[in-house]
Structure 1
Amino acid sequence: MKSLSYLLCLTVLVLSACSGNKQKTFSEDELNLIPKPKELKLNEGSFNFTNETGFVLEGENQRDIAELLSAKFEAVAGWELKILEEKPETNFIQFKGNQDLNEEAYKLLVDDKKIVIEAASYSGFVYGLETVRQLLPLEIESKEEVNDISWQIPQIKISDEPRFEWRGLMLDVSRHFFEKEYIFKTIDRLAFLKMNTLHLHLVDDQGWRIEIKKYPKLTEVGGFRVDQENKHWDARSDNKPGEKGTYGGFYTQEDIKEIVAYAGKHGIDVIPEIEMPAHVTSAIAAYPELSCTGKPVAVPSGGLWPITDIYCAGKDETFEFLENVLLEVMELFPAKYIHVGGDEATKTEWEKCDDCQRRIREEGLADVEELQSYFIRRMEEFVSSHDRVLIGWDEILEGGLAPGATVMSWRGTKGGWEASEQGHDVIMTPGSHVYFNFYQGDFDTEPMAFSGFTPLSKVYDFDPVVDSMSVAQKKHVLGGQANLWSEFIDTPELSEYMLFPRLAALSEVLWIPEEDKDWADFSRRMQVIFKRFDLMGINYATSAYSVTAESEVDATSGEIKIGLKNEFPGSEIRYTLNDKDLNASSTLYKEPINVDSSSLLRAAVFENGKPKGDTLVKDFHFHKAVGKEVTYKPMYHDSYTGVGENTTVNVIRATKNFHDGQWLGWLGEDVETTVDLGEVTTIENLKVGAMENQGSGIYFPVKVTAFVSKDGENYTEVGEVSREFKINGAIGLKDFEINFEPQEARFVKLKVDVYKGLPGRGRAWLFLDEIIVE
């Protein structure tokens, strides 16, 4: 009997039904799926993957889907999940066609014997298997073999489908070129999040990135620029025509075929964007005859504005060229859509061009705006004649929209609203919520980005449908898309940092019904998914953990009240004041902190005794001008009013975000500001904080002059500081400081001179922060 018991136990161990592989019952808190499924029922028990688990398929095309999971198990367990010829009694994953389901819908049933995925399309099976992947232990994402783990998933029933048919990401590979290996990685991650569209911005002023065999100079010349990568994007000098470019690259047509095939295997469409009529300096550098002037130009190495070297709309040769290009593009990209850009065309050359003016007359057009409409309509006719649909940015509305065009609305949602009212399909991609080249955390600590602010929670607030739309208009909203413009993004690691985790938030809001959105629940799941991202090797941002301070001055007591928060609800925030070390034992933040003397604040989120995200460091410096009366001549601009007249004497320092509510702004005007200290006192040092963000038209002052007075009428100059103008692409903060011999004074006056050297580019903004008197 003893030997029989031994054999029975051995059998049980081999079958993994006892010992460490006992069936586990999962809780709902252990289900951290992103995007969240539409309907889910969790049952008791689990399904256990073993080296005998296999796939039961209905067709050869499903092998590629099975491989997506089989490759994972081969890496972590050394198993190959085989394709089974016949359905066994147990331990299998079955793909089962169900034509009653919608196009991208799937059903997932897991019990202790099997996993069944039902779908009507290839994509539906991909999504079902990606859900299985996310139900597995996070170690499934490891690149190395993992031991001593049970590969179980819960017994569960899921019925799921996306809210929108267009769930996209645009990668700008023109401003900075990314090798195809990074594109493959991005496709993997899009599939993980059930996104279905990769939009490649292949053409812009700074680079042409796709081989066109009929026009080889597009890549030979237009694919490379003079290497000025050591300079900031907006501080690069103009290149000379003919100067050889060495920085850049392009995708061969074989590369494109590989990318498209790889994406198709993951259920993702790849949409090419071939810009026109503007953002094409790289093409005109290769073929100058395509412009109105025919003059040689160089591929620019950095920022370019305004964009005047554009395709000539009056020459038939232009349209012949573009049609030939698109014929090759359409051969490579089987997707339904072709994106042609259509944005930001400065038409000054069209206004002077004899060919363009003749076109306007012959076509009975009113002006150059209608000429652009003619341009896009003509290209739309060509595209639609090849059974494709043209997409353009919302500028294609100007002058009249081409009949079959789809609009991608980026300047807010207004363009999308107007297009949908006219019966056109729209894709919402407003800069306010889904431009991932904007900052996602503290401007002072984050990598250089465009000046907008799009934190994780703001992405989660995004909804492509506008409340004021009619029922008919809403049906024209295909979905939404994130855009990652790459002016400041020159490495795959930085690209990942800007994409993740924001892409996860977008994937959920484009998938689930609007009424099911729950920021607190998403935050919980997102923090678990971070651990998967670690194993996937994604260089994601932890900005959502980072602490921000909201400070205000108590008008009665003069104290500063500091509120601390971060994006994830319920986070453990700890802080210190002055010279104390910040650690897991520091004071736990529970209520606003009151400060009435100079203090250095440090704060961070802690998890399991370790800090998460960046540490907040804020210096609150109380000086002799704090809370005193300040006057300004002239008054600050209505667009940048800070917190009012006391903005410059409230202790709270402004940041690199000029929308943070702590800046006063003047447009093109010298400023005279006077502080009344209330009584005569000894002073010897004056500072005034300023900002420079030349890309946004904000410039440091060129001179600051200081005066003091006892009576407010008779002033004595005590010093000045000048700064010669320099091209500067980075955002800068600077205190302009003036030291002088100790003076008895009640009134302090600063005369701040604005930069006036912007001929033809309007007036410069002057932004001032704290006036510090010591």
Structure 2
Amino acid sequence: MIKINYLKTMVLGMGLLVASCQSKQVQFTEADIQIIPKPAQVTLNSGSFEFNGDTKIVVSSDEQLQASEVLLQALQSAANLKLEVVKEKPATNYITFKTNETLGKEAYNLTVANGFIEIEANGFSGELYAMETLRQLLPSKIESNSVVEGTDWIIPNISITDEPRFEWRGLMLDVSRHFFQKEYVLKTIDRLAYLKMNTLHLHLVDDQGWRIEIKQYPKLTEVGAYRVDQENKAWNARPTPELGEKATYGGFYTQDDIKEIVAYAQKRGINVVPEIEMPAHVTSAIASYPEFSCLEKPVMVPSGGLWPITDIFCAGKDSTFEFLQNVLMEVMELFPSKYIHVGGDEATKTNWKTCPHCQSRMKTEGLENVEELQSYFIKRMERFVSSKGRILIGWDEILEGGLAPGATVMSWRGVKGGLEASAEGHDVVMTPGSHCYFDHYQGPMDSEPLAWGGYLPLSKVYQFDPVVEEMTEEQAKHVLGGQANLWSEYIPTTDQSEYMIFPRVVALSETLWSPKDNRNWDEFTPRLENMLERYEYQGINYAKSAYTLRANATVNDTTKVVAISLNNEFPNPDIRYVLNDGVLDKDAIQYTGPIEINKTTTVKASLFENGKPVGKVFEKTFNYHKAVSKPVEYLTKYSDSYKGAGTTNMVNVLRGTKNFHDGQWQAWIGNDMELIINLEASEEISEVTVGTMESQGPGIYFPTKIEVFTSNDEGKTFNRVGVIERPAEVSGNVELKDFTIAFEKQKATHVKVVAESLKKTPKNGSGWLFVDEIIVN
């Protein structure tokens, strides 16, 4: 594990303790209390409690026994201690429960004293969370799946008063884009409970797969659960399957699987919320039953990216609503959750505008547009859901055209939906993409596995607050909480899923549980390191991205000196570096401030631990060339959305990354890049390189043609010295590429570069052209 030792805390298991609990003198400090999420109140007392073969657990109900299982199992696996469960309290060395009906349903009080532990709660959830806290007070080796020798299982005497800040603390798993077996879902439930999370939102339906057995409509899984296997192609580069092609990739949960998942989750204090999308993101359903669409044409389940989403449920047919009600009836029989998620997002209503059934519905209901028709659709389903004693919840698009009276809104497009819904008196769950979309990159894109896009590092997750400043006190009361969403377009395996979830969900758990004024990033990070050590024992493939070095460079336009700052997400990291051919060990220089360079230089740097480099090495060459900091005249202006560093961007030595929002890129859409660089003297040059990016998902394409012209008469006349032409090719990858045009050495005072953008993409849009640097040598 990559690890920085901020504090050497736990002295357990070091052979310093002797056999008897009474004779062991262990001095604990506040730094030894490494619980996540951080409890509301903690008081550390003198003394300690040791778990041994004589420790008893006193229970008076099945719920208390169930809550005890997480600790019983851990102690048996790691410590080879099989604690006896009894009904009568012994004189000493026991854990006992006490019911306190004045506490909230998830609150608990925990007292650890010499000879006993008392858990005070108002029911199962509080009892379970107290047990999870006890587990985290034990040495991290308690997470081992095999017996650990030579460790003393001692915890400090402590008093904890704890309860969650928010009632909805969730994670969404998208099992439609890529299907994950039941066993992985069960593991995820355990891991959520460990962090006192209480909601698992299962995204069971989308265009690329229907994942739940519905007995009345068997084709939903016979047809809708499988797609043509194109997993060897990039998600957005997968062609539309031909009708009749054999579909082999996919899977689904039987109703028995769902029952097992739900029952398992209930034993871990987790509510499982099902999502059945409507009216869009349902191509898998339309492929199964075309009659519930407007066009009624047979379609295939898409193998990959699909946009726009036009094959949606017909809002004009009563048979559509009968179908959906029948589906939800079976869903509600399987899921006791009071919330039923119906999606409601990203519906392209093109077919509704021409469908005679939809037009008839609009006329009959007095609806002015298709947005109001979607509102009618959701309101009608909300009446049905509420008639069954459940609450409809949907993405914030369900606000469009008017919100159903009893609906709850899940705000994902920023916080606007949550603000609007709460102002109207609706409950909201905040899950903005900026802080909660775990399909976004969590480290520098150039060093991370392919992800959807965007940038959400661990430290930003920790900044999340479901209650936003613009909310009134009354609006804040409608905020149920928040959740992370893991969309799985780029997540084909459980290993990758774990990588994207952990440790970001650790940070999220604390933002949703702990009091806001009791949280601090610098204080959180050493507790996080202890959690990562636990994840090592648990075999979780967590991301180490927070340790990865980031570089921020600025250039002084007057002196042309580049200043390079290095950091990662942790406070006071031990970073060392070398330049050019230096060896990143014996020659390493302690990083204390920005590294200044004024010529072509390669910087190599690493995080160090115990005097040795650990983790990924940062390496980047800053290429000084003859155009650095020279004046640039833009004959076609770059987009206001992507300005880079302004007029110096193309000649400032600083290169962009795969994150096109990193501030180093300039972009054009609908027209070409055309600019002139004034070298301010007659220089001998022989090549020009144009740095570009391609990421076709958001519409960014390599240039289709690049021309270079030179002038040696102060820009009065230009001669073309080279050209590259290349047709656009479909690609699902994010790629950085330098296009170099070499030519015979010649004198030049000015260089003109023209790069042509793709005027029409395969999806009939205009392609973006992104350029970060023009290198003249």
User: Which band: TM-score by shorter chain?
Assistant: over 0.9
Q: What letter corresponds to residue 76 of structure 2 in structure 1?
A: E
* Corresponding position of 2:490: 488
**1:56 paired to 2:69:** no
1:23, distance to aligned residue in structure 2 (A): 3.8
* Corresponding position of 1:146: 148
Match of 1:773 among 741, 759, 776: 776
1:736, distance to aligned residue in structure 2 (A): 0.9
Match of 1:373 among 366, 369, 375: 375
In structure 1, distance between residues paired with 2:756 and 2:180: 43
Are the equivalent residues in 2 in contact too, given 1:203–1:279 (CA < 8 A)? yes
What stretches of structure 2 of length at least 5 have no aligned partner? 1-16
1:78, distance to aligned residue in structure 2 (A): 2.1
In structure 1, distance between residues paired with 2:246 and 2:382: 35
Q: How does 1:644-659 map to 2 (within 5 A)?
A: 644-659=646-661
**1:345 paired to 2:373:** no
Structure 1 residues 416 and 591: alpha-carbon distance in aligned structure 2, compared to 1, 3 A threshold: same
**1:632 paired to 2:634:** yes
Match of 1:271 among 270, 273, 285: 273
Q: What letter corresponds to residue 340 of structure 1 in structure 2?
A: V
In structure 1, distance between residues paired with 2:244 and 2:362: 33
1:241, distance to aligned residue in structure 2 (A): 2.5
SS in 1 for 2:327: helix
* Corresponding position of 2:3: none
In structure 2, distance between residues paired with 1:215 and 1:584: 68
Structure 1 residues 596 and 406: alpha-carbon distance in aligned structure 2, compared to 1, 3 A threshold: same
Are the equivalent residues in 1 in contact too, given 2:60–2:87 (CA < 8 A)? no
In structure 2, distance between residues paired with 1:517 and 1:86: 40
Q: What letter corresponds to residue 236 of structure 2 in structure 1?
A: D
* Corresponding position of 1:8: none
Are the equivalent residues in 1 in contact too, given 2:226–2:250 (CA < 8 A)? yes
Q: How does 1:544-555 map to 2 (within 5 A)?
A: 544-555=546-557
Match of 2:208 among 206, 209, 222: 206
Residues 114-148 of structure 1: CA distance to partner in whole angstroms, max 9, x if unpaired?
11111112111111000000000000000111001
In structure 1, distance between residues paired with 2:313 and 2:585: 59
In structure 1, distance between residues paired with 2:344 and 2:613: 46
In structure 2, distance between residues paired with 1:51 and 1:217: 55
Identity, % of aligned positions: 59
Residues 630-671 of structure 1: CA distance to partner in whole angstroms, max 9, x if unpaired?
111111111111111111111111111111111111111112
* Corresponding position of 2:411: 409
SS in 1 for 2:513: coil
Q: How does 1:707-726 map to 2 (within 5 A)?
A: 707-711=709-713, 712-726=715-729
In structure 2, distance between residues paired with 1:76 and 1:23: 23
Are the equivalent residues in 2 in contact too, given 1:544–1:613 (CA < 8 A)? no
Structure 1 residues 458 and 13: alpha-carbon distance in aligned structure 2, compared to 1, 3 A threshold: closer
SS in 2 for 1:198: strand
* Corresponding position of 2:457: 455
Are the equivalent residues in 2 in contact too, given 1:584–1:606 (CA < 8 A)? no
**1:188 paired to 2:199:** no
* Corresponding position of 1:739: 742
Q: What letter corresponds to residue 97 of structure 1 in structure 2?
A: T
* Corresponding position of 1:561: 563
TM-score scaled by length of structure 1: 0.97
* Corresponding position of 1:536: 538
Q: How does 1:76-155 map to 2 (within 5 A)?
A: 76-155=78-157
* Corresponding position of 2:178: 176
1:610, distance to aligned residue in structure 2 (A): 4.2
Residues 12-37 of structure 1: CA distance to partner in whole angstroms, max 9, x if unpaired?
9875544xxx1422111111111101
Residues 704-762 of structure 1: CA distance to partner in whole angstroms, max 9, x if unpaired?
01111101122111111122211111111111111111111111111111111227633
* Corresponding position of 2:11: none
In structure 2, distance between residues paired with 1:319 and 1:221: 21
Moved over 4 A (4+): 12-16
Q: How does 1:657-668 map to 2 (within 5 A)?
A: 657-668=659-670
Are the equivalent residues in 2 in contact too, given 1:543–1:614 (CA < 8 A)? no
In structure 2, distance between residues paired with 1:185 and 1:679: 66
Structure 1 residues 95 and 241: alpha-carbon distance in aligned structure 2, compared to 1, 3 A threshold: farther
Q: How does 1:124-523 map to 2 (within 5 A)?
A: 124-523=126-525
Please say which of residues 751-760 and 208-217 is displaced more in the overlay: 751-760
In structure 1, distance between residues paired with 2:21 and 2:554: 62
TM-score scaled by length of structure 2: 0.96
Structure 1 residues 759 and 593: alpha-carbon distance in aligned structure 2, compared to 1, 3 A threshold: closer
SS in 1 for 2:96: strand
SS in 1 for 2:445: coil
Are the equivalent residues in 1 in contact too, given 2:550–2:567 (CA < 8 A)? yes
What stretches of structure 1 of length at least 5 have no aligned partner? 1-11
Q: What letter corresponds to residue 739 of structure 2 in structure 1?
A: F
1:503, distance to aligned residue in structure 2 (A): 0.3
Structure 1 residues 518 and 295: alpha-carbon distance in aligned structure 2, compared to 1, 3 A threshold: same
Residues 502-556 of structure 1: CA distance to partner in whole angstroms, max 9, x if unpaired?
1011000111122222010011211221111111111111111111111111122
Residues 414-464 of structure 1: CA distance to partner in whole angstroms, max 9, x if unpaired?
001110011100000000111000011101110111221111111111110
Residues 560-612 of structure 1: CA distance to partner in whole angstroms, max 9, x if unpaired?
01111111011111111111122376111101111011111111222233444
Are the equivalent residues in 1 in contact too, given 2:21–2:49 (CA < 8 A)? no
* Corresponding position of 2:10: none
Q: Considering only aligned residues, what root-mean-square deviation do their CA atoms show, in Å?
A: 1.3
In structure 1, distance between residues paired with 2:722 and 2:279: 53
SS in 1 for 2:453: strand
In structure 1, distance between residues paired with 2:460 and 2:585: 30
Are the equivalent residues in 2 in contact too, given 1:584–1:610 (CA < 8 A)? no
SS in 2 for 1:227: coil
SS in 2 for 1:462: coil
Structure 1 residues 611 and 119: alpha-carbon distance in aligned structure 2, compared to 1, 3 A threshold: farther
SS in 2 for 1:376: helix
SS in 2 for 1:408: strand
Structure 1 residues 713 and 54: alpha-carbon distance in aligned structure 2, compared to 1, 3 A threshold: same
1:618, distance to aligned residue in structure 2 (A): 1.3
* Corresponding position of 1:9: none
Are the equivalent residues in 2 in contact too, given 1:545–1:612 (CA < 8 A)? no
Residues 28-69 of structure 1: CA distance to partner in whole angstroms, max 9, x if unpaired?
111111110100000111100001212111211222211111
Structure 1 residues 536 and 13: alpha-carbon distance in aligned structure 2, compared to 1, 3 A threshold: closer
Structure 1 residues 445 and 182: alpha-carbon distance in aligned structure 2, compared to 1, 3 A threshold: same
